[in-house]
Amino acid sequence: MSPYLCKGTKSTPEINFDAQSAHFVISGRSMPEDAYGFYKDAISWMENYIDQPQDFTRFEIKLEYFNSGSVKQVFVLLCMMEEILQTGKEAEVIWYYKKGDELMHQKGHEFSKFLDLPMKVQEN
């Protein structure tokens, strides 16, 4: 499976999903006008991946900022990590926030409450 790569812009994040190493990263600012359209390909890529996931998948979120539309799409991606756990394989989410960024800190905690999977919220 070839990796899913997407370069960042002023309003969209950098996405780097590598199936081989089972290491996924989303970083930067995410505020596309049409978040559903922007994340569509990443989400369908992920649907394929979770059919045959690696033994241990690590998903890192390093967002500086996201809009409400992106919140939902990122949530969909994280829900897919939950599905990996159901196949007996392992998955972990690390949610980074910058020092003093209470908004991303809060969001991380909120998400970890809503989701049933190992999730670390940590400063970077």
Rounded to the nearest 10 degrees, the angle between the axes of helix 35-49 and helix 68-86 is 10
Comparing CA positions, the residue from 117, 106, 113, 120 lying closest to residue 79 is 117
Among 72, 116, 122, 124, binds another protein (CB under 8 A): 72
User: Minimum Å distance from CB 106 to another protein?
Assistant: 10
Cα separation of 63 and 29, whole Å? Answer: 6
By rule CB under 8 A, what string of x and - marks binding of each residue 11-40 to another protein? x-------------------xxxx-xx---
Residue 114 touches another protein, criterion: CB under 8 A: yes
Nearer to another protein, 33 or 123 (CB): 33
CA distances from 17 to 45, 58, 68 (A): 9, 10, 22
User: Binding residue for another protein (CB under 8 A) from 50, 71, 85, 117?
Assistant: 71
Q: How many residues bind another protein (CB under 8 A)?
A: 24
Q: Give exposure, 38-57, as e/b (b: 16+ Cβ within 10 Å).
A: bbeebeebbeebbeebbeeb
Which residues are near another protein by CB under 8 A? 10-11, 31-34, 36-37, 65, 67-69, 71-73, 75-76, 100-104, 110, 114
